[in-house]
Amino acid sequence: MKLEGVYSVLPTPFTESGELDLEGLKRVIDLFVGAGVSGLTALGVTSEVARLNEAERARVLETVVGHAAGRVRVVAGATADGLRACVDYTRAAREAGADAVMISPPRMLKLNSDAVVRHFAAVASAVEIPIVVQDYPPISGFAMEPWLLVRIAKEVPAARTIKLEDPPTPFKTSRIREAAQGMDLGIFGGLGGVFLLEELMAGATGAMTGFAYPEILVKIVRKFHSGDVDGAAEAFYPYVPLMRFEFQEGIGMAIRKEVLKRRGAIACADIRPPGAKLDATTLAALDRVLRWSKV
């Protein structure tokens, strides 16, 4: 199964009392599916997965798979520090009906390339499901070189899709393509979409990010894949300021949820503690960038 196009990373909406807002999650799913995305990613980093307990993880995934109802594919985050937990998350994702899982290298002391390959191989051996290898050093604490990502793809056939979030991502995409020597790999750009066009030009096959206006990403990717690079550029560059603003470190998820609230998808934009709340200055700046972007 080849994963390509735009996969929207879903937020996890909460009520004002901090409980899961599953009806809000369903509205976000409908908004994103209506925008033309190829798939949805649940339980990702920007889904606040680290702030969910085990029961909540299961409820979120069940809701996403059930409400997507086969309209688009579903990828489930299954990263864990230990192999056993990672296998358990992966098996639970498959049993819930997810089409693939997304996994980062485990956080561990003295992690090396051989250990990373063994980790992905062990998960693939235990559970038959496609794996998206998430290359995001801030989460794993381990930077995977292009040759290592290609080695994983060669030795673990289930893991031939990469979510690339180690900038400069366009440059790294090119190096992966060179090392792959024609191997059929899927490469998703992330990082809020801020380098999407350049990633596509370097050989990416799509985007996997939670940008609150996925219809813009869909338009960019479709135009590029149809051969209309200039049209893709015209669809991309006017919205880079909005992507950049939304992807601010530390407050990006709060901004994204605020935008989704304004779009009518969720009723409450709160993120779970510890997490920053938007101040008046940031909200005013958001008003301005939204007006300028004319979304």
Q: What is the pLDDT of residues 193-252, one digit of tens each?
A: 999 999 999 999 999 999 999 999 999 999 999 999 999 999 999 999 999 999 998 999
Given this model, what pLDDT does residue 246 score? 96
Class of domain 5-239: alpha beta
Angle, alpha carbons 176-168-28 (nearest 5°): 95
Confidence band of 61 (pLDDT split at 50, 70, 90): very high
- Alpha-carbon distance of 169 to 187, in angstroms, equals 10
Write the pLDDT tens digit of every residue in 13-28.
999 999 999 999 999 9
Region 264-286 average pLDDT: 94
Given this model, what pLDDT does residue 15 score? 96
Say yes or no to pLDDT of 5 above 80.
Answer: yes
Region 271-289 average pLDDT: 94
Given this model, what pLDDT does residue 114 score? 93
Confidence band of 275 (pLDDT split at 50, 70, 90): confident
Region 63-89 average pLDDT: 97
Region 40-56 average pLDDT: 95
**Portion of the chain with pLDDT greater than 90, in percent:** 92
Residue 13 makes CB contacts below 8 A (sequence gap 6+) with 20, 21, 24, 25, 28, 257, 260, 266, 267, 268
DSSP classification of residue 223: H
- Alpha-carbon distance of 155 to 122, in angstroms, equals 11
Q: Which residue has the tokens 């609150």?
A: 212
Region 263-271 average pLDDT: 96
Angle, alpha carbons 269-92-85 (nearest 5°): 90
Given this model, what pLDDT does residue 141 score? 85
- Alpha-carbon distance of 103 to 116, in angstroms, equals 11
- Alpha-carbon distance of 101 to 82, in angstroms, equals 16
**Portion of the chain with pLDDT greater than 70, in percent:** 100
> Hey, what are 214's tokens?
């996925």
What ranges do the domains of the chain cover?
5-239
Alpha carbon of 73 to those of 16, 29, 42, 145: distances in Å? 30, 12, 11, 28
**HEC profile of 225-293:** HCCCHHHHHHHHHHHHHHHHHHCCCCCHHHHHHHHHHHCCCCCCCCCCCCCCCCCHHHHHHHHHHHHHH
Given this model, what pLDDT does residue 2 score? 83
Amino acid at 56: E
Given this model, what pLDDT does residue 107 score? 85
Given this model, what pLDDT does residue 109 score? 61
- Alpha-carbon distance of 232 to 27, in angstroms, equals 28
Confidence band of 140 (pLDDT split at 50, 70, 90): confident
Given this model, what pLDDT does residue 111 score? 80
Average pLDDT over the chain, rounded to an integer: 96
Query: How crowded is residue 81: how many other Cβ atoms within 10 Å of its Cβ?
Result: 12
Flag whether the pTM goes above 0.85.
Answer: yes
Contact of 64 with 10, CB cutoff 8 Å = yes
